[in-house]
Every structure is written in structure tokens, then in C-alpha cells.
Structure 1
Amino acid sequence: MSRQRTTITQRTVTAFDTGVGQAAAAKDDSWVTTGRAARELGLRRTEFDLGVRLGRIRAEAGRAPGERRVARAEIERLRAGPGFPEALRRSVHAVGTAEGADLLGVAKTRFTRLARLGLLVPVAFHLNRYRAVVWLYLADELRLFGDDEKHAALLTGRMPEGLRGLLDSGIDLRPRNWRSRHLGFLLREAEGPWARAGAVASFLDPLHVAQVVRDPYDRSRLHTFRRRPPGGPNPESPGARIAADLMRARDDDEIAWLRADLARLVDEARAHHPAPRPSTSCRPTSAPEPLVSRRPVLGPPPARPAASARQDTPAAADRARRRGLLTRWRHRSARTATRP
């Protein structure tokens, strides 16, 4: 089976992926929300979101972060298409294993083996009530696979020896093929080089990201563009944990491809718009002054006042007067005692 290998997003995706890139923004100034666009196109929300990711429906970024909107002209274009709405609904119809096996006319076990071998590529997944992963496939791609005469031997009779050996070894390429396709979706939606680098980083363990992007400011900038796994708004929920595990690359060659692409995209993003760094005016230019203690400094005891200063007080003056009187009395008594 031929495969496209022109970009990282097509290394494991089959040639039946007919998604195209988003076209330029519609010239019409009238816009509607994605929910209203889905209703006017007769699609369920999951079908509408898949149509946007496949490039069937052109949506643009809204005013708020993470918001999407659709031009009124785009809705009119789709409604005027041939076979609307059945043709549009059929192009985004995804099926599980049981319905997919019926489309190919094979047993469910054979369908699962073909998917494990990477011959049937999932387009999405969800968790059932037992938290088991349910893979979904585009019905149109399954029809194309079944109509190709080259695949007739895979649908009937005994599996070739080489493929049986791979199945016996436990191979399962469904998560890896889904990651490759999902990365293509994220890159198609990304706006700007940092957003593209963040999309690739979303599939790598943080340790691998740190080894590739060593600058902490670049990593901080990159972290703002990492995409959350499709598992609900609560990252601690069981479904979100399972989705995060499925989204993380496992094989050595897959990790090597992602690391190489991440390094290239970060270089492009850095050249286009460097990550913000602290202003030089905010950086300290000299060592900070030592803190001054608020406790009082005890100096030497104050000097005792001189004698003249001590006599200035009333008490000292009174004592001096009494000493003077006593001295004069003693002198008078001595003169009286020495007379003949």
C-alpha cells in the first residue's frame, strides 16, 4: 500500500487522506459561531469538528483565544455544493470497528488486524463506559480501501506469512498512526511558527523537549502553545490520562523524527519572533546594599558632667553654701580658742 512521506504529518497516514489546508480567510465580513455553523450545515458537533480538521470546512480564529468562527460565505459555499447535505455528512462520517467491518465485508477480528498493521488509519477515538479505547475510521477511506483490487488478498483468505509474524509479535500501529494524523490536524490549525513548534512538542515527553530546547525562555514560550490531549477539560480525569498516554510518542524512531522537527521549528520560531526575556533595566547592575539593622546601636556611656556643671543645679548650690558656713564656723572657733 503506497503511503505519503513528504512531511512528518504523512509518514504513517495512508494515501486516502484527502484533507487539504485551510484556505485564505473569506472576504465576507459576516461570521457565525461554530455551534451555529454546525446546525446550519446539518452536522453533529463531532462531525463538524472533524470536518474542520480534515479541511472540509474552513474555520478561522476568533477574537478570544481558542475561539473559532466560520464565515457566512463559507456556509453558503458548502450549502451550494453538489449533494448537500448528504455529501458533506458522508465525507465526515466516522465509524467504529463493527460498522467498519461491515463496510469491508470482513469479520471484526480481521478488521482489527488490518488496523493493527497500520493499513487502516484511525481518525479519532473515544472511551466507552469501561474506559476502553474505541477507534474511529473515516467511512470514505474504508470504502476506498475495500474497492482497491490490490487489497483483495487482505480481505479474504489467509493472511500473508510476514503480516502474521508482525501480528504475533504484538504490533499495534493504531496509536502511532492516530498521533501522526492528529499532528497533521494541529499543524493545519496552527497560526505562526511558535504554534507549530508547540504542536510538535505536544507529542513529546517534557524530558525530550528539555533536551532539544535548552533555553528556559524558549521552553516557557513553547509551553504556552502545547496542545492538550483530547480527553476533556479536567487533565486529572481518567479519560484525560488515557488520552495523554496515547498522545505521547513511544517508538524510538518516532521520537527521533519529532525531536528533529521540534529543533527545526524552534529555530524558525526564534528567528521569526524571539521568546520574551527580562528587560535589562530590570536586572540588578550592582550588588544590593546590606540591610541595616533597626536595633539601636549601644555606644559608650555618656561622660559625667564637670564639677562646675554639677554645681549649676539647686541641690548642689545648697550643699556648697552649707559647707561654706561650716568652714567659717570652724575658723572662728579656732581663733577664739587661741586668745590669751
Structure 2
Amino acid sequence: MTATLLTAADRQTLTIGRAARELGIKRSEFDLAVHLGRIRTVPDEGGGGRRVAAEEIERLRRQEGFPDALTAAVRTVGTTEGAALMGIAPTRFTRLARAGLLVPVRFYLNRYRAVVWHYLAEELSQFAAEEANAPLLKGRTLPPDLLARLREGVDLRARNWRGRHGGFLRRQAGDHPWERAGAVAALLDPVQIAEIVPDPYERAHLYRFRPGPPVHGAPGSPTVLLAERLMTADDPHEIGWLRYDLTVAMDEARDLRPAPRPAPKPPAAAPRDTKPLRAEARETEPRGVELGVTEPQGVEAGVNEPQGVRAGQMEPRGVEQRDPEAAPTPQPPRERGLLGRLLRRGQ
């Protein structure tokens, strides 16, 4: 595959697929080169993923041995091919990898859903070329301390892969505080994250930047579930370091950009107390008159009504209204006895 010339429209940034074609390598090789930090990418301003600057393409082209050197740097091999490259048996290769001496760079699941680890061929060749590692490759048996650890069931392949993958996630995060915190949280169990980030709004914001496992599959599928298990730290020392890193990253994220949260609700208005108004209304009423009762005509406020007449009632017709303060009309004395009765009859 030959590289093409960049047009004027592509002088700024290129998509990942276009950049791989410009470099003359496969898409899987390009992704691994980005993962290893050999190719720098930039975020897409339109939110469409990562892109590659045109200057980065020119920098890679100017390197010595391009493109064969770049292709050799991202070549990966499995257990069988790696053992042959190092001149040892596959069983010894597996023991060295389980002991943490050989670090895998990627994995995939075969049709039996078994994890298949891949290693950088360049790193295996360097390990075999060092004289200090000759006893591990040519000796009849491995060192006793190493054998004791293997008998205990130690397997550091997943942990070493997580360490390498975590470095890749941190590089991708750059200087963004919440993305750096999300890169650390990607390797921790949700229970551990909840203990470190108890605030639900901060935790929800953190999960927006928490990358998932580097596999393709439907959520909840066996492939994704197994990949999530491999990506989650299970060693106590590893968990301790990740918890500390997440605590520091969250402190920096809070200081630089707090997590969004709903606006506080305005306080409810206190109910209006009408009792003072009622008391004030009573004070303004004239004495002896109830609130809401109309005074009878002809009776001034503050003057007592004549006895026998209620407030608001009209006097019967034909009854002369009398002044209660006027003196009563004198009546002639009445005669008693028989004479009195005769006189009254005569009237």
C-alpha cells in the first residue's frame, strides 16, 4: 500500500482511517501504535472521536526506516510464536508470562471464550537478548522463588495488561481533569468508586468519562462481561494504588471544574398570617357593634339602643319613637275599689 499526497483540505487533521492509509499500515496496527504512544492523536472538535494532525503524519514519514520500522514496532505474537521467537518451549513462555516477566499488550477471546494474550515481538526479542535473562531461558528449571509463586497460582498477565492499558488511557486524557479521573476509574470496581466518590452527582459525572473495555460486543454479552472482569483490578496492592490515584485525581477535578448539579429550589413562601389583621379590624370597630352588622337607622354609633329594641330591627309601625332620656308622661292616679272600677267603665 502506497501513501497518497495530502490535499489542501486535509492539511489540518485526518480521520483515523485516512491516517492509517497515509502511513501505509493496517487499521489494527495503527490502533496499537496509538495505544503504545507511537502515534499522537487529538480530540475531534466536532465530537466525532480522535483525529490525527497532518504534522504528525509528516513526522512519522521522516523517521528512519519508515514504514517498515513502524510496522515492526507494532507487530504482536501469541504464545506459540513468541516462544519460538525466544527459543524456549511454550510451557516455559507461559510460566514467564504468568510470573509477570513478559507483559501482554492486547487480548482477544477465541470461539471457546478463552482469553488469548498477545505480546510485542520487539519486546520479546529484547528480553531474550539480555544476558541477565539467560538463566530464565536456558536453565533446566526456573529459580526456586519463581517456582514457589507459580505453585501458589499467581498470574500477573491481566494485571500487567491493565497497567499498560491504564497508561494509554491517561495519555488519551491529556490535561482534562475529569478525563484523567475517568481513566483511573476505568480500572476499579464500581463499589470501590462509590466509596471514594460518595457524592451521586460527582459519581454520575465521573462515569461520563470512564472508558469501557476495548472490545466490541453487545452490553451484557459474555465477551463484554469477561472483558470487564479482566479490566477490573483484583490485586490488593493494585487496588490500593488505584484508589490513591483516583482520590488525587478527583481532588484536582473538583478544584478545576466542579461537577454539575441541579440548581437549588427557591424557598417556599411562608403562609400569610391573618390573625393580626382580624385583631386590627376589631380595634377599629365601634363598641357594641359586631363586625359585618349594619346599624339601625336613627341610632348613632356609640349610643345605646332603647330597651326592648335589638340592633338592626325596625320598630313596628304606629308606635311613636320616644326619646329614652325624656321624662315619662304623668298618668292620673287610679282609684281603687268599686269607685275606681265605675269611673274606668265610664271612660
Q: TM above 0.5, one fold?
A: yes
For residue 254 of structure 1, report the CA deviation from its aligned partner: 1.1
Question: What is the count of residue pairs matched by the alignment?
Answer: 260
1:170 aligns with 2:153: yes
1:160 aligns with 2:148: no
Q: What secondary structure is seen at the aligned counterpart in 1 of 2:100?
A: coil
Structure 1 gaps, min length 5: 1-27, 290-340
Give the number of the structure whose alpha-carbon radius of gyration is greater. Answer: 2
The 1:220/1:103 distance shift into structure 2, 3 A limit, reads: same
Q: Which residue of 2 aligns with 1:307?
A: none
Q: What secondary structure is seen at the aligned counterpart in 2 of 1:262?
A: helix
Q: CA–CA distance in 1 between the matches of 2:46 and 2:147?
A: 51
2:39 pairs with one of 57, 60, 72? 57
1:126 pairs with one of 100, 104, 108? 108
2:249 pairs with one of 262, 265, 275? 265
Segments of 4+ moved more than 2 angstroms: 63-66
Q: CA–CA distance in 2 between the matches of 1:208 and 1:154?
A: 38
TM-score (structure 2 length as normaliser): 0.72
For residue 141 of structure 1, report the CA deviation from its aligned partner: 0.7
Q: Which residue of 2 aligns with 1:253?
A: 237
Q: Which residue of 2 aligns with 1:78?
A: 60
2:199 pairs with one of 202, 205, 215? 215
Give the conservation status (yes or no) of the 8 Å contact 2:217–2:223. no
Equivalent positions of 1:9-158 (< 5 A) are 29-65=11-47, 67-157=49-139, 158=141
The 1:288/1:87 distance shift into structure 2, 3 A limit, reads: farther
| Percent pairwise identity | 57
TM-score (structure 1 length as normaliser): 0.74
Q: CA–CA distance in 1 between the matches of 2:214 and 2:263?
A: 37
Give the conservation status (yes or no) of the 8 Å contact 1:231–1:241. no
Which amino acid in the other structure matches residue 49 of structure 1? D
RMSD: 1.6
Q: What secondary structure is seen at the aligned counterpart in 2 of 1:265?
A: helix
Give the conservation status (yes or no) of the 8 Å contact 1:199–1:226. yes
Structure 2 gaps, min length 5: 1-9, 272-347
Q: Which residue of 2 aligns with 1:12?
A: none
What does the per-residue CA deviation read over 1:179-236, in whole Å, with 9 as the maximum and x for residues that have no partner? 1110000000004010010111111111111111111221111110111111214222
What does the per-residue CA deviation read over 1:47-78, in whole Å, with 9 as the maximum and x for residues that have no partner? 10110121111111112436111122221221
Q: What secondary structure is seen at the aligned counterpart in 1 of 2:117?
A: strand
What does the per-residue CA deviation read over 1:294-328, in whole Å, with 9 as the maximum and x for residues that have no partner? xxxxxxxxxxxxxxxxxxxxxxxxxxxxxxxxxxx
Q: Which residue of 2 aligns with 1:225?
A: 209
Which amino acid in the other structure matches residue 200 of structure 2? P
Give the conservation status (yes or no) of the 8 Å contact 2:19–2:52. yes
Q: Which residue of 1 aligns with 2:258?
A: 274
